[in-house]
């Protein structure tokens, strides 16, 4: 693992931060510590490669922090792993819908955390191999999408897409005219190690269409199967 890989670790319990920092640093990571949501947002300027984020924090909880990250142009692509004492499936669905990449339940096993951190960092590299053509910049119809910069321009205007919405849009655009099942989108975008319900794909596609506005017709629903990006000149 790259010694310079930076993990932003956010939890209001200092004992947890110290315990997890020790184990992550022993594995070769550089840890940036934050003890509340606002401090986490302030420390994004240190350019972490991944964020481990507690949900239950005073003043600003992890959900609100994640929403702000996903709506920022500079940091929307960062992988975020939630730490949670919650075990409800609905809590996980909500977190995934607003852009979480993974969940780890408390009490936390350091070895499990390290394994999930490494897995999610590998998936960041995996965006480069999603799809069939591996083109850094794709222009199709009114849309220009750059996977290296995580930028999308529609009719020449820059539009911010949170990480998972970006990856789904890139995946669809990189396979124009091809019907992609919900299950395949889940496996290729989220990975097989994370359980995500098919409804999550539908929620993300709906949000993508909202951002495409007058070009929403470019993503076609194939009833009972999945989605297809319209093959246009």
Q: Is the pLDDT of residue 213 over 80?
A: yes
What percentage of the chain reaches a pLDDT higher than 70?
Answer: 88
Number of domains in the chain: 2
Query: Are 178 and 97 found together in one domain?
Result: no
Span of 31-35, 39-43, 85-89, 222-226 with lowest mean pLDDT: 85-89
Average pLDDT (188-201) is 74
Average pLDDT (184-203) is 78
Residue 203 has a CB neighbour count (10 Å cut-off) of: 16
Identify each DSSP E strand in the chain by its residue range: 6-10, 30-34, 50-54, 80-84, 102-105, 137-140, 143-146, 151-154, 157-159, 180-181, 219-222, 226-229
Question: Which among 155, 183, 171 has a CA at the least distance from the CA of 229?
Answer: 171
In which domain, by residue range, is 21 found? 6-128
pLDDT of residue 124: 65
Residue 24 has a CB neighbour count (10 Å cut-off) of: 20
Average pLDDT (88-109) is 79
Query: Are 15 and 122 found together in one domain?
Result: yes
Token output for 56: 């239950």
Domain boundary among 98, 128, 158: 128
Higher confidence at residue 134 or residue 37? 37
Query: Which CATH number does the domain housing residue 39 bear?
Result: 3.40.50.2300
Query: How does DSSP assign 109-164, residue by residue?
Result: PHHHHHHHHHHHHHHHHHGGGSSSS--SEEEETTEEEETTTTEEEETTEEE---HH
Token output for 183: 């299950």
Q: 60-83, pLDDT tens digit by residue?
A: 999 999 999 988 878 888 899 999
Confidence grade of residue 31 (pLDDT, cut at 50, 70, 90): very high
Residue 36 lies in a domain: yes
Confidence grade of residue 140 (pLDDT, cut at 50, 70, 90): confident
Residues 6 or more apart in contact with residue 47 via CB below 8 angstroms: 6
Confidence grade of residue 87 (pLDDT, cut at 50, 70, 90): low
Query: Are 118 and 62 found together in one domain?
Result: yes
Residue 1 lies in a domain: no
What percentage of the chain reaches a pLDDT higher than 90?
Answer: 52
Query: Are 115 and 23 found together in one domain?
Result: yes
Average pLDDT (190-202) is 74
CB 202 within 8 A of CB 182: yes
Higher confidence at residue 88 or residue 197? 197
Cα–Cα distance for residue pair 228/208, rounded to 1 Å: 13
Query: Which CATH number does the domain housing residue 143 bear?
Result: 1.10.10.10
Cα–Cα distance for residue pair 57/74, rounded to 1 Å: 24
Q: 10-29, pLDDT tens digit by residue?
A: 999 999 999 999 999 999 99
């Amino acid at each position: 693992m790259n010694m310079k890989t930076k993990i932003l670790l956010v939890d209001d319990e200092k004992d947890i931060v110290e315990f997890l920092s020790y184990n992550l640093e022993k594995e070769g990571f550089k840890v940036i510590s934050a003890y509340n949501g606002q401090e986490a947002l302030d420390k994004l300027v240190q350019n972490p490669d991944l964020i481990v984020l507690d949900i239950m924090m005073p003043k600003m909880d992890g959900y609100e922090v994640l929403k702000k990250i996903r709506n920022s142009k500079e940091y929307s692509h960062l992988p975020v792993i939630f730490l949670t004492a919650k075990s409800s499936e609905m809590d996980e669905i909500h977190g995934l819908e607003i852009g979480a990449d993974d969940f780890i339940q408390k009490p936390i096993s350091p070895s499990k955390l390290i394994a999930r951190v490494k897995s999610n960092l590998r998936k960041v590299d995996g965006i480069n191999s999603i799809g069939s053509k591996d083109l850094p910049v794709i222009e199709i119809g009114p849309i220009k999408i750059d996977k290296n910069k995580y930028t999308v321009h529609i009719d020449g205007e820059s539009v911010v897409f949170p990480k998972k919405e970006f990856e789904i849009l890139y995946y669809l655009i990189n396979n124009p005219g091809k019907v992609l099942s919900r299950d395949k989108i889940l496996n290729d975008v989220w990975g097989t190690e994370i359980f995500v319900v098919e409804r999550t794909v539908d929620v993300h596609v709906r949000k993508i269409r909202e951002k495409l506005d007058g070009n929403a017709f470019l993503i076609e629903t194939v009833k009972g199967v999945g989605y297809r990006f319209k093959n246009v000149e």
